[in-house]
């Protein structure tokens, strides 16, 4: 259809008699036009996806939903780019006189061979698609997958890119992900084990911990990050040198580590102020008199 349209324009210009050289020129013009239309289609599709993302993000109920929409936008842009590129490439081959039917047949056979030989790659794409549909991971989440922990910087159908606390980047194939531990959903808990000396009054220690948590929650910088009062589970262990009390603070997602550090810092000052001992390992050494260590048949050495 496109070729017929160009031929009619060429004839209207009075150049239809010079068929010897017009055919390759028309093919070249058609190829350039296909490339231009493919580029224009890619731009329009990209703008449509971006506009849809903005509309959906404006209607999103919260930051969790907006993060999911952003992740889906990235994936749809990638898929659209691949589809437009493949279709444009096939049209160019067809215009150049290269039959795409054998190529498609060969690609089908090769696809089966590659499918059997690259099952892990197929598994990566299938797992990535399922994770996106089920909203398991989004860009910006802090997750643990395949033994790696970090913030999600990129999520594709092929892999998940994480950056850990040290700044190291981990590329985890989606097929290697069996369990997803997402630490960025709605809320979290800053879990702490507080060790005090055996001589301390547990009820008094618990009251100091609650007072410290209340003071921390009253500070403007932490008021919006801590969602509830301190929850003290009770004595969790009788350790070698300490009684371990387990507690937790409910926080908004991804703030549990900062809240934990802030609470422990203030609790150390509160314990020092109240004279509550934070124990450290002790070792008691008993020594026997020298003559008690000697064999019965040997006399004790004279002392100076």
pTM above threshold 0.75 = no
Asked if 275 and 199 count as a contact pair (C-beta separation under 8 A), the reply is no
Fold of 131-182: SH3 type barrels. (2.30.30)
The DSSP string of 140-198 is T-EEEETTEEEEEEEE-SSEEEEE-TTS-EEEEEGGG-S-EEES-SSEEEEEEEEEE-T
Place of tokens 């990535």: 128
Give the pLDDT score at 18. Answer: 47
Cα–Cα distance, 245 to 234 (Å, whole number) = 5
Tokens of 172: 């985890």
Give the pLDDT score at 2. Answer: 52
Cα–Cα distance, 154 to 51 (Å, whole number) = 21
Asked if 185 and 64 count as a contact pair (C-beta separation under 8 A), the reply is yes
Give the torsion sign (CA, 110, 111, 113, 118): positive
Fold of 2-109: Helix Hairpins (1.10.287)
Asked if 69 and 139 count as a contact pair (C-beta separation under 8 A), the reply is no
**pLDDT tens digits, the chain, 304 residues: what are they?**
555 655 565 565 555 544 555 566 667 777 788 888 888 888 888 888 888 877 877 776 666 667 777 777 777 787 788 888 888 888 877 777 776 666 666 666 566 655 555 667 778 888 888 887 788 888 889 999 999 999 999 888 889 999 999 999 999 999 899 899 999 888 999 999 999 999 999 999 999 999 999 999 999 999 999 999 999 999 999 988 899 999 999 999 989 999 999 999 999 999 999 999 998 776 777 777 765 555 555 555 555 4
DSSP-derived letter for residue 31 is H
> Where exactly are the structural domains of the chain?
2-109, 131-182, 187-274
Give the pLDDT score at 148. Answer: 93
CATH 3.30.420.10 fits 187-274, yes or no: no
Backbone angles phi, psi at 232, to 5 degrees: -100, 115
């Amino acid at each position: 259809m496109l070729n017929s349209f160009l031929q009619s324009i060429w004839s209207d210009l009075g150049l239809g008699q010079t068929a010897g050289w017009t055919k390759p020129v028309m093919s070249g013009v058609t190829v350039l036009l296909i490339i231009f239309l493919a580029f224009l289609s890619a731009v329009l599709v990209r703008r449509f996806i971006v506009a849809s993302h903005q509309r959906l993000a404006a209607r999103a109920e919260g930051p969790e939903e907006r993060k999911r929409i952003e992740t889906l936008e990235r994936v749809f842009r990638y898929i659209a780019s691949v589809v437009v590129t493949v279709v444009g490439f096939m049209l160019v081959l067809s215009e150049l006189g290269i039959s795409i039917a054998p190529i498609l047949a060969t690609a089908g056979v090769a696809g089966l061979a590659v499918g059997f030989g690259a099952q892990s790659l197929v598994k990566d794409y299938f797992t990535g698609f399922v994770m996106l549909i089920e909203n398991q991971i989004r860009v910006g989440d802090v997750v643990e997958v395949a033994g790696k922990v970090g913030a999600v910087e990129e999520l594709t159908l092929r892999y998940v890119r994480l950056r850990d606390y040290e700044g190291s980047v981990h590329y985890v194939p989606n097929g290697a992900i069996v369990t997803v531990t997402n630490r960025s959903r709605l809320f979290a808990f800053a879990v702490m084990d507080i060790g005090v000396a055996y001589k301390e009054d547990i009820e008094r220690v618990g009251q100091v911990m609650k007072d410290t948590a209340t003071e921390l929650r009253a500070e403007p910088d932490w008021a919006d990050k801590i969602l509830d009062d301190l929850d003290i589970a009770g004595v969790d262990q009788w350790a070698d040198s300490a009684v371990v009390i387990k507690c937790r603070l409910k926080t908004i997602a991804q703030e549990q580590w900062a809240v934990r550090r802030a609470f422990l810092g203030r609790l150390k000052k509160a314990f020092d102020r109240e004279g509550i001992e934070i124990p450290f390992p002790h070792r008691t050494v008993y020594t026997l008199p020298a003559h008690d260590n000697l064999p019965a048949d040997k006399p004790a050495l004279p002392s100076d």
